[in-house]
């Protein structure tokens, strides 16, 4: 079993942090998305979407999509639960996981992909205006997140979850996207600081 990834990219990092929190060790194989290896015939045969990460099982079965990979390991090793427990717990984690992904990680990612000259190899054509629209959406979401974190330690409540992992990776990806966390978002800053201090953040 192995995971094909690109170490610098945020989605593979989500999987690495998830596995570190569970104490699961696995083999990693690196490809370079900046030189287009995800578009090779060999990789396209594994993931026709040409994206990392991909989990390849010992029988050759490939599972792509970050959350699907995490789901696989959550089912294999339920503790610590990172995708919620019970109907309400799972629904709450999923609600916030989806928000952290679509309203923060993807918006920050689009800002990077459409405005950073280095990202032309990933996004051609780059549409700067779309990058700016996404910056506005990311900033709007951070306001919502700051209010939400005022009275709970983690995004989904009392327990650390995949929603926090996605959030940590999104906030860290603000740097290459040339975005700054507004200083008034003290709750986000507190939450981010605690997540970044966990050993798993180094995975």
Ligand X SMILES: N[C@@H](CCC(=O)N[C@@H](CS)C(=O)NCC(=O)O)C(=O)O
CB of 12 to ligand X, least distance (A): 6
Q: Do residues 27 and 3 lie in contact, with contact meaning Cβ atoms separated by under 8 Å? A: yes
Could you tell me which of 119, 139, 131 has the C-alpha nearest to residue 180? 139
Which residues are paired to 64 by β-bridges? 54
Which are the contacts of 44, defined by CB distance < 8 A and separation ≥ 6?
38, 50
- Comparing CB distances to ligand X, the nearer of 11 and 115 is 11
Subset of 72-131 contacting ligand X (CB under 6 A): 122
Chosen residue from 3, 4, 10, 145 binding ligand X by CB under 6 A? 10
CB of 21 to ligand X, least distance (A): 18
Task: Give the strands of the sheet with 62-64, arranged side by side.
Answer: 27-30, 2-5, 54-56, 62-64
Q: Which of residues 55-74 bind ligand X (CB under 6 A)?
A: 65-66
Region of 6-14, 71-79, 148-156, 157-165 interacting with ligand X (CB under 6 A): 6-14
Task: Give the pairing type, strands 27-30 and 54-56.
Answer: unpaired
Q: Fill in the per-residue mask, 22 to 61: x = in contact with ligand X (CB under 6 A), - = not in contact.
A: -----------x----x-----------xxx---------
Q: Which residues bind ligand X (CB under 6 A)?
A: 9-11, 33, 38, 50-52, 65-66, 122
């Amino acid at each position: 079993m192995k995971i094909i990834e690109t170490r610098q990219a945020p989605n593979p990092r989500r999987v690495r942090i998830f596995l570190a929190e569970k104490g699961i060790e696995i083999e990693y194989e690196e490809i370079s998305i900046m030189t287009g290896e995800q578009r090779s015939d060999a990789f396209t045969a594994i993931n026709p979407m040409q994206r990392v990460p991909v989990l390849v099982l010992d029988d050759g079965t490939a599972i792509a999509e970050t959350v699907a990979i995490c789901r696989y390991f959550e089912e294999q090793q339920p503790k610590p639960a990172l995708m919620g427990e019970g109907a309400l717990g799972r629904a709450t984690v999923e609600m916030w996981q989806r928000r952290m992904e679509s309203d923060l990680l993807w918006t920050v990612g689009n800002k990077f992909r459409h405005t950073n000259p280095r990202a032309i190899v990933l996004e051609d054509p780059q549409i700067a205006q779309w990058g700016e629209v996404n910056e506005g959406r990311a900033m709007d979401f951070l306001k919502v997140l700051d209010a939400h974190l005022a009275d709970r330690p983690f995004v989904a409540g009392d327990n650390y979850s995949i929603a926090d992992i996605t959030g940590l990776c999104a906030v860290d990806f603000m740097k290459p996207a040339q975005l700054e966390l507004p200083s008034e978002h003290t709750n986000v800053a507190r939450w981010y600081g605690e997540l970044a201090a966990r050993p798993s953040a180094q995975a």
